[in-house]
Amino acid sequence: MKYFLFLSLCFCCFFSSAQQYKFDKEYRAIEPKVIEWRRDFHKHPELSNREFRTASKVAEHLRSLGLTVQTEVAKTGVIGILEGTKPGKVIALRADMDALPIIERNDLPFKSTTKSEFLGQEVGVMHACGHDTHTAILMGVAEILSKNRDKIKGTVKFIFQPAEEGPPPGEEGGALLMIKEGALKNPDVDAIFGLHINSQTPVGVIRYKPGGTMAAAQSFEIKVQGKQSHGSQPWAGVDPILISAKIIDGLQTIISRESELTNEAAVITVGKISSGVRFNIIPESAEMIGTIRTLDYDMQAHINRRMKEMVPAIAKAYGGDATITINNATEITYNDHDLVALMLPSMERVAGKENVQIQKAVTGAEDFSYFQKEIPGFYFFLGGMTPGNEQSFPHHTPDFIIDDSGMLLGVKALTEMALDFLAL
């Protein structure tokens, strides 16, 4: 941290020279390639820890650029190392590669028709969060920087990460496993940058927030035990579906009546409930899974404690039993204040000062946060919505669409932020 505080004192002098890399020709040449890569990945999406085709294409591209390439990091992850012509620091740039179990619903010519298996069910697979664009953007950055080694003072490490959406049950994966397997070592990384395209931010705009910017995510599983009976005789059993409804209602009061939402936002969502096989049978059991999102660790501790108290108590009140298990999924995505201050001039130079905007924290989550627990990191949002488009669909939905023209700004931002950081 002292290192960054020192740099904060001198960065104004550095940027007062109006650093310009004059990559206009390179940017024009790379944009159609980035679009082509993105559309290919979009048409052939792969679920978490199964990104075999994606990883192969990434590794092939990095090798063609002369980078040192590591594969099968955290199962399907790829790392490329680019050394400049002068010694210096090490900056990491990260992109995630996995898609989601969603059936795509649009008329794009590169629409996904891929099917796979998730939690024992056949599902459609779709890049419904923009990870295809992240991968293509970072491939473009790698190509531009590989052709400009003479401008690199130090080393750039390109991290293509699998399983950002979470590994399948029973498997390790994502940023945690990449860190465990040494992604930030050999050479040791000084700082890391990442971006996320956003379908509801106009093309040409970059948004960011110093400090806590995305929520910590936890998953939970609730198992409710009742007593089976005929649907016409509910008094002869204990209804786990009724108990589940009461539990869901009770959990929401933790947010609406116990959480100080003027401090930070918090969310409890039940995403799936499973019970029963037939209309006239009160089943024996029910299961629920869901997510908790918090931007404050004290609030997280309170919510977790109250959920563990409330779930079995509600079930007992209605004659049943229930257990709850809570698992951590991500930490709070925390942007290092000094690093943000250092890089803000870079972003304003490539996007225009008026297009670099501070935003409020969001309750989405990112396992990029695990990298930030190890080293200073900066994570920002890139516009992917066609300006003036009133039908922009949110992430993780079947209608999600990104405007390809938004990706070039991501290439420019990561390229010049990396060079600026290494030049300090």
Q: What pLDDT, on the 0 to 100 scale, is given for residue 389?
A: 83
Active site residue 98: yes
- Note the Cα 288 to chain centre separation in Å: 24
Residue 379 tokens, joined: 């994570």
Report the SS3 class of residue 289.
strand
User: Letter for the amino acid at 336?
Assistant: D
140: which DSSP letter? H
Residue 391 exposed, middle or buried by CB count within 10 Å (0-12, 13-18, 19+): exposed
What is residue 2's predicted lDDT score, i.e. its pLDDT? 44
d(CA 280, CA 230): 6
For residue 395, give both structure tokens: 């992430």
d(CA 34, CA 411): 9
- CA–CA separation, 111 vs 225, rounded Å? 42
What ranges do the domains of the chain cover? 2-214+332-423, 227-319
Q: What is the mean pLDDT of each run of 10 residues along the chain (424 residues)?
A: 48 51 95 98 98 98 98 98 97 98 97 95 97 98 98 98 94 97 98 98 97 96 98 98 98 97 95 96 98 96 98 98 96 98 98 98 96 98 91 94 98 98 96
Residues 300 and 194: beta-carbon distance below 8 Å: no
The whole model's pTM is what? 0.89
Question: CA geometry: angle at 98 spanning 92 and 103, to 5°?
Answer: 155
Cβ of 107: how many Cβ atoms within 10 Å?
6
Q: Which of 26, 83, 143, 164 is catalytic?
A: 164
Among the listed residues 26, 46, 98, 416, the single catalytic one is 98
The dihedral sign for the CA sequence 127, 133, 138, 143? positive
* Block residue for tokens 């002869």: 236
HEC profile of 319-351: CCEEEEEEEEEECCEEECHHHHHHHHHHHHHHH
pLDDT on residue 13: 47
Classify 227-319 by CATH class: alpha beta
3 state SS of 273:
strand
Taking residue 78's Cβ as centre, other Cβ atoms within 10 Å add up to 28
pLDDT of res. 7:
52
Please report the pLDDT score of residue 131 as a whole number. 98
Token representation of residue 62: 């990095």
pLDDT computed for residue 406 by the predictor? 98
Q: At what angle do helices 297-317 and 240-253 cross, to 10 degrees?
A: 150
The class level of CATH for 2-214+332-423 reads alpha beta
CA distances from 90 to 185, 192, 315, 323 (A): 10, 9, 53, 46
Pairing of strands 377-385, 206-208: antiparallel
Q: Cα-Cα-Cα-Cα dihedral of 226, 228, 231, 233, to 10°?
A: -90
